[in-house]
Amino acid sequence: MNIKFICLNLWQGGNLFDGILDFLKAEDADIVALQEVYNGVTPNLERKYRSLQVIQDKLNYPFTDFAPAFLDNRKEGKIEQGNAVLSKFPIIENNIEFFNEPYRKDYTEEEKNFPSCPRNLEYVVLDTPEGNLNIFNLQGVWDLDGDNYSERRQKMSDVIIKNIRGKENVILAGDTNARPTNEAIRRIGKYLSNIFAGELKTTFNMKRKDDQGYAQAVVDMIFVSPKIKVISKSCPNIDISDHLPLIANLQIK
pLDDT at residue 81 above 90? yes
Q: How confident is the model at residue 253 (pLDDT cuts 50, 70, 90)?
A: confident
Question: 3-state DSSP: the chain helix, strand, coil percent, rounded to 5?
Answer: 25, 40, 40
**DSSP-assigned letter for residue 204:** B
Per-residue confidence (pLDDT) for residue 205, from 0 to 100: 98
- What type of residue is 112? K
Asked if 185 contacts 178 with a C-beta cutoff of 8 angstroms, the reply is: yes
pLDDT per residue over 97-151, tens digit each? 999 999 999 999 999 999 999 999 999 999 999 999 999 999 999 999 999 999 9
Topology (CATH level 3) of domain 2-251: Deoxyribonuclease I; Chain A (3.60.10)
pLDDT per residue over 1-16, tens digit each? 999 999 999 999 999 9
Asked if 244 contacts 204 with a C-beta cutoff of 8 angstroms, the reply is: yes
Asked if 171 contacts 163 with a C-beta cutoff of 8 angstroms, the reply is: no
Determine the Cα–Cα distance for residues 69 and 85; give it in Å rounded to an integer: 14
Angle formed by the axes of helices 17-27 and 51-58, to 10°?
40
Q: How confident is the model at residue 44 (pLDDT cuts 50, 70, 90)?
A: very high
Determine the Cα–Cα distance for residues 214 and 224; give it in Å rounded to an integer: 25
pLDDT at residue 174 above 90? yes
Count of H-run helices and E-run strands, the chain: 4, 13
Q: Residue 86 pairs with which residues in a beta bridge?
A: 32, 64
The percentage of the chain sitting over the pLDDT mark of 70, rounded to a whole number, equals 100
